[in-house]
Amino acid sequence: MTTRCVASLVSLCLLVTFPLSAGAQSPGAAPLGRNLADVTFAPVPGLPTCASGAVQTGNPAQGATIVLAKVEAGCVIPWHWHPSNEHLMLVSGAARLEMKDAAPFTLRAGGFALMPATHVHQFTCQQACVLYVYSDAAFATHYVNAQGTELTAADALRMVHETAAAPPK
């Protein structure tokens, strides 16, 4: 299976696996509100098992989406890129962001980061993280090695001693 096929499969699995929190809505729908205590998190296929998420609005396989994510301390999402712009808003915890051709950055509670489309980056949660991830188009993750060659999720995560969450059965 090619890396592009894997990325497409992961995108499809995001739609099936991410819990759509009760009332997750599309643009133009009625107002919506929920608290963290009311969110149900689930593993995200292709991401490490130490990360989970819940779609708050949108559809990751089709367009703009906001996902609420929980990432355990020490969890690494290794070098990767997305075809869409990725906006991170950290609610709690601390994370190290490493971006190709930029100095590493520690994102703290209340912080914001933008990774432009196709920009290679890595995310390491230093203290248990809760964050919103906004993608302005369909969401897919493409893992790469130091030379920029695409890797499968399993191979990329194995390199940082993580395990990929499995697609739903």
For 2-11, the pLDDT digits (tens) are 444 334 334 4
> Binning pLDDT at 50, 70 and 90, where does residue 32 land?
confident
For 116-130, the pLDDT digits (tens) are 999 999 999 999 999
58 versus 167: the higher-pLDDT residue is: 58
Residue 132's H or E segment, with its range, is: strand 121-135
Based on C-alpha coordinates, what's the Rg of the chain? 15
Q: How far apart are CA 124 and CA 95, in angstroms?
A: 5
Q: How far apart are CA 85 and CA 76, in angstroms?
A: 20
Q: In the chain, where are the structural domains located?
A: 3-22+35-159
pLDDT at 51 over 70: yes
- Write down the pTM of the prediction: 0.81
> Binning pLDDT at 50, 70 and 90, where does residue 31 land?
confident
**Per-residue confidence (pLDDT) for residue 145, from 0 to 100:** 93
pLDDT at 137 over 50: yes
**Per-residue confidence (pLDDT) for residue 45, from 0 to 100:** 87
Write the DSSP symbol of residue 165: B
CATH architecture, range 3-22+35-159: Sandwich (2.60)
